[in-house]
Each structure stands twice: as C-alpha cells, then as structure tokens.
A = this chain, B = another copy of it.
Amino acid sequence: MYIGIDLGGTNIAVGLVNENCEIVAKDSCPTLSKRPFEEIVRDMASLSKKVTESAGYSVSDLKGIGIGCPGSVDHANGEIIYSNNIPWNHAPLRAEMGKYFGDIPVNIENDANAAAFGEYSVSGKGSNCFVTVTLGTGVGSGVVIDGKIFRGFNGIAAEIGHSTLVHDGIECTCGKRGCWECYASVTALIRQTSEAIKNHPDSLMALAAAKEDHISGRTAFNAAKAGDPAAQEVVDNYIRYVADGIMSIINTFQPDLLVIGGGISKEGDYLLAPIKKFVAENTYCKDISQTKLAIATLYNDAGIIGAALSAK
C-alpha cells in the first residue's frame, strides 16, 4: 500500500492506494497555508495515518509515501524550492515528513507531474511518451517518457503552460509575456468570456452571467450550446488557443497519448472534437502514426494516485 498526498493551497487530500492504482480510502483537511511549515506537515502525517488505519491497515503496511506539491520541486533533494500557493521557500518537505514515518521512503513531486504519472499509470501504461495537459486555474502539464516522469536536469521541466503562444502577448504570473496559460487556462476563459459580455451585453451568455451574478469556465460553453453566437465565438477562439498549444506539444514530443484534464475537460467531446480537427489539419507529417488525444479519466484523483505511485 502507498500513501498519495495531493497538497494544494486550499486542501490537503490524502489517499491510500493499492498496487492496482486504486484508492482504497481517502480524506482531506484544510491546508491553512499561512501556518508554519511544521504544522502543515504534522497534519499531512496524522491524516495519512488516519486514512491508513481507516481502511484496516497500519503504517507498517506502507511501502512508500508520495506527495504532489504546487510550485517548483527539487525532487532529488526532497525540497519545495518555491511555491506561489503555499508560501514556502526551500522547504525540506521530505525530511520533515520522514520524521513521522521512520524508514518508509517519501517522494515529493510537482503536482502536475504527479497527476501526469497517475493518468499514465491508469490510462497510459505501455506508452513510451505520454503527456497530460490540465486546463485549470493555470495550464499544468506533465510528461512521462519510457515510464519515468520527465523532470529535466533540475527537476522543474514540463512547464509547457509557460511556453509562449503569443509573442509579446499578455503578461503571465510567471513574469514572461504570452504564455499558453494566459490564453488556455480557465482563468483565461473567464477573462475572454467577461470581455465578450462587455461587447455583447444582450447575449444569452451576458444574461446568464447576470442571473448567476458570476462568470465561470462554464458560462460561455453553456450559452454556446444554447445557440448564443457571441458565446460560440468565445468558445471557438478559446479552443483554438488550447489546440494550437497542443499542436506544439505534438510537434515537440510526438507522444503516443496526450490526455486533457482539468475542469474544462468535463466538456468532453465538445472540447475534444475541434481540438482533434485542428490537429489533423495542422499536422505536417500526416503519413505516419499520429498522437492519440483523449480526455483524462481520473480527474481529481490523478494527483493522489500519481503521487502514491511515484513513491514506488
């Protein structure tokens, strides 16, 4: 049995994962990320023990503990170098967690890498190059090559959301301009929807947003499905941003499987079909096996499962 921890800015989610990549028990608690580092780790440790025991196991049954963390992770040294969402700087997470678990190996991974490894372990087994893209608050990504998480030489590779899609474009939270994330994240979709609502105040989309007093990643998609042309334009442009970045990933990695996750991925084929069309039209070498594109299957559990299995 393995413990997988998905450490987020809001919640700590812990799962007990078996050899078949299944979660047999899980629980969560608030991160309260402003607290001292040691307190947060203490809660991670006690929740891990609680989850293990809740399924009838004991700590001695654990073969490893994996933690998926936001931000830049020094996998080799077991440190979180820097995170936006949890105000840690060179936090020695592996060592601190190890204090509670003796000889049980602890592995820490970037959360997008952990989620990618989870998806790989469940949907991508046998793939020699596997990529996940997560369309969420940002655009996360993870790459698994020959069954190993690809981390680059310093552990922080596969930040494909920070590839430039629009040279000299919108300023990103990373400090650079024009990152794919600035156009293809849910945050970007909400911005694009909000701008379109200003330009089309009488559209279905505008009325729905006013009624709910809220704009979400679903606002434009729902209105487009109800026949709103202004919303359809938002959706079409948004999907083109997503698809163009995915085309770049294909030209760069030629993965056998590329899986799209995150909130927007719940749109399913409504999102996937136009991406496939864009890719088919823009592939420069059509006369060879092509990357398979799919919607992620694990959704929120990918982080827990991937973190757990990364400790194998």
Contact = CB atoms under 8 A, between A and B. Distances in A.
Interface of A: 72, 74, 81-82, 89-90, 127-129, 145, 150-160, 162-169, 174-176, 178, 183, 240-241, 244-245, 247-248, 251-256, 281-282, 284-285, 287-291
A55 B163 CA distance: 47
Contacts of A282: 174-176
A289 B154 contact: yes
Contact of A285 (B150, B156, B240, B255): B156
B285 A72 contact: yes
A82 B168 CA distance: 34
A46 B289 CA distance: 34
- Main DSSP-derived SS at the A contact region: loop
Nearest to A178: B244
A154 B74 contact: no
B157 A81 contact: no
B164 A287 contact: no
Sort A-B residue pairs by CB-CB distance and give the 3 closest, nearest first. Answer: A152-B254, A174-B284, A153-B256
A160 B252 CA distance: 5
Contacts of A89: 287
Contacts of A128: 153
Contact of A288 (B74, B253, B287): B74
Contacts of A251: 157, 159-160, 162-163
Contacts of A284: 159, 162, 174-176
